[in-house]
Amino acid sequence: MKHLFLDIETANLDMKAEGLEFSNPLGWRTSCVSIYDIWDGESYSSAVDQHFVSDPEYLVSQDSDLSTYSLLPLNNLADALTRYFDSGYFLVTKNGFSFDLPILCKPIEDGGADARQILAEFEHNDRHIDICRLLTEKYGYRFSLQNLVKAVVGEEESKTMNASFAPVEWDAGNYRSVIDYCLHDCYLTARVFFEAPNKPFTCNGYNGTRRSNIEIRAPWP
């Protein structure tokens, strides 16, 4: 089984002021999308990554180190996902069902990636695995990626940035740090996905009213 891990970052600086909601794609604007291609059982270091942004040439002109990155226009994402779908890949996300994918389904001019058709194919063919959605459906709690990494992988791995800082860094022109952060979240999601089924683990979650430590068995294959 082949897996493609996907994560997005947004460019919105003030969620409250802009009237944004996590469960509603309206108003959200994509800054970058990272995909992380890894086969089941392969070394993490052998993965291939690509990044999709609105203007790759401009980003490279602002940071020459980005010339070594696989940067592609955001409107190429749908074609890339189609190639992975046709090659039999499963798409794996964390909170993709409620956040990432609805945003990417929107037209480019509305802050999305115009990827509605191919993302619907992943969903309709049961080839999208949202680890956070599966955990919430089974246990009734929401679990952050940071807490899942801590519980499954251990203290040696951690997110490299608070998600709320990413739009600020992007606005400040620190594009490489945001792209690196987005890719690292793909890598962390991959580690949780592959390692969580190996044994039960305890993770701190939130059910809307209280936090609890929950005993978990990964509800994915």
**Domain spanning 2-216: CATH 3.30.420.10:** yes
Q: Which two tokens stand for residue 111?
A: 């802050």
Q: What are the residue ranges spanned by the domains of the chain?
A: 2-216
Q: Which pLDDT band holds residue 89 (cuts at 50, 70, 90)?
A: very high
Q: With bands split at pLDDT 50, 70 and 90, how would you rate the model's confidence at 67?
A: very high
pLDDT at position 168: 96
Q: In this predicted model, what pLDDT tens digit does every residue of 107-159 receive, in sequence order?
A: 999 999 999 999 999 999 999 999 999 999 999 999 999 999 999 999 878 78
pLDDT for the residue numbered 41: 67
pLDDT higher than threshold 80 for residue 40: no
Q: What angle in degrees, to the nearest 10, is found between the helix axes of 175-195 and 131-139?
A: 50
CA pair distance 40, 37, nearest whole angstrom: 10
Enter the tokens of residue 203. Answer: 């993770």
| Confidence at residue 217, expressed as pLDDT on a 0 to 100 scale | 97
